[in-house]
Amino acid sequence: MRDTGLLRRSYHFYGWFGGALVLAFAGVVTGFVLLGDSWFQC
């Protein structure tokens, strides 16, 4: 596997994955703010 390059670090993947995590977290926070005081939040 090492010879085929499958274990090589892909910094583009880490960048996209990190960006997706930040966007997902921002979406969750936005959802909680928009919900406000509702029965979804205990």
The tally of domains found in the chain comes to 1
Domain range holding 27?
Answer: 1-42
Q: Token pair of 10, please? A: 């892909």
* Local mean pLDDT, 10-residue blocks, the chain (42 residues): 70 92 96 77 57
Distance, in Å, from the CA atom of 20 to the CA atom of 32, rounded to the nearest integer, reads 19
pLDDT of residue 33: 85
pTM of the model: 0.63
Under DSSP, the state recorded for 9 is -
Distance, in Å, from the CA atom of 35 to the CA atom of 1, rounded to the nearest integer, reads 48
pLDDT of residue 23: 98
